[in-house]
Amino acid sequence: MPLTPDEMVFWGHGFVKLNATIVFTWGIMLLLTVGSALITRKLSTDLKRARWQNFLEIVVTGIVKQIEEVGLPQPAKYLAFLGTLFLFVATAALCTILPGYSPPTGSLSTTAALALSVLVAVPFFGIKEQGIGGYLKSYIKPTFIMLPFNIISEVSRTLALAVRLFGNMMSGAMIIAILLTITPFLFPIVMTALGLLTGMVQAYIFSILAAVYVAAAVRTRKRSVEPEPKPAPST
């Protein structure tokens, strides 16, 4: 039984292997870019709009509102990064209704890459907002003793992001595969529907957690009264 889509190799030459993860990731990238390019080709500002434009506006304003509620005052700055994370993970989960597809987020390589981009983006936004000295100072914020713990928390939350998404998506695919051998006809459909729900919740959680981490890195200067730059989502 294939544990991840990495093991489905379509084409290989030497050490270059074109496995299902890469192919489906490219497919999702193509779908997202071509789809949004086609929709945004003719935008209108008056009351008469295309349906797809309304759909995209709902999605974008929803993401902006969520980012703002986490505690980032200017969501437009972070919309490109956090919105892309959400859209990619959500599309990867939603496409499971297509037969023969396995989500690329069910491979630890994809989720590790996403988590590493969050690991890079948090200091990037932090340094951009409060300078390199101000950001580095947030590591020794309560006392100097907290320095190793802050560094450990950076690493461990990256690991947690990667393994959480991987485990959820992989478990969905694997439960369906196991059920197909036991009760072939009806029950896997129910589990597929449950997997769609889990995938959306995971996409939401992944992007919200990334937003919370970015907010914690950006806000520490104003909240220097607090003992620790905890990611406490305020209203």
Partner 1 sequence: MDSMTSIAVASIVCAGITTAFGTMVPSLAEGRAVATALTSLAQQPDASPTITRTLFVGLAMIESCAIYCFVVAMILIFANPFWNHFIEAAGK
Judged by CB under 8 A, the residue of 101, 124, 139, 204 near partner 1 is 204
x/- binding map, residues 7-46, to partner 1, per CB under 8 A? Answer: ----------------------------------------
Which parts of 51-80 interact with partner 1 (CB under 8 A)?
Answer: 66, 69-70
Please identify, among the stretches 24-32, 94-102, 141-149, 203-211, the one whose residues bind partner 1 according to the rule CB under 8 A: 203-211
Neighbours of 194 (CB within 10 A): 13
Rounded-to-integer distance, Cα 165 and Cα 73, Å: 27
Rg (CA), the chain: 20
Please identify, among the stretches 87-95, 122-130, 143-151, 197-205, the one whose residues bind partner 1 according to the rule CB under 8 A: 197-205
Q: Which is nearer to partner 1, 116 or 201 (CB)?
A: 201
Q: Rule CB under 8 A: say whether 208 interacts with partner 1.
A: yes
Q: How far is the CB of 164 from partner 1 (least distance, A)?
A: 4
- Two structure tokens written together for 183: 């009760």
Neighbours of 206 (CB within 10 A): 26
| Residues whose CB is less than 8 angstroms from the CB of residue 225 and which lie 6 or more positions away in sequence, other chains included | none
Please identify, among the stretches 24-32, 74-82, 180-188, 199-207, the one whose residues bind partner 1 according to the rule CB under 8 A: 199-207
Position 52: which residue type? W
Q: How far is the CB of 127 from partner 1 (least distance, A)?
A: 25
Burial of residue 135, with CB atoms counted within 10 A of its CB: 0-12 exposed, 13-18 middle, 19 or more buried:
buried
# chain residues binding partner 1, by CB under 8 A: 22
Q: Rule CB under 8 A: say whether 136 interacts with partner 1.
A: no
Q: How far is the CB of 15 from partner 1 (least distance, A)?
A: 20
- Two structure tokens written together for 157: 């939350």
Q: How far is the CB of 223 from partner 1 (least distance, A)?
A: 17
x/- binding map, residues 156-195, to partner 1, per CB under 8 A? Answer: ----x--xx-xxx-xx--x---------------------
Which positions touch partner 1 (CB under 8 A)? 1, 3, 66, 69-70, 160, 163-164, 166-168, 170-171, 174, 201, 204-205, 208-209, 212, 233, 235
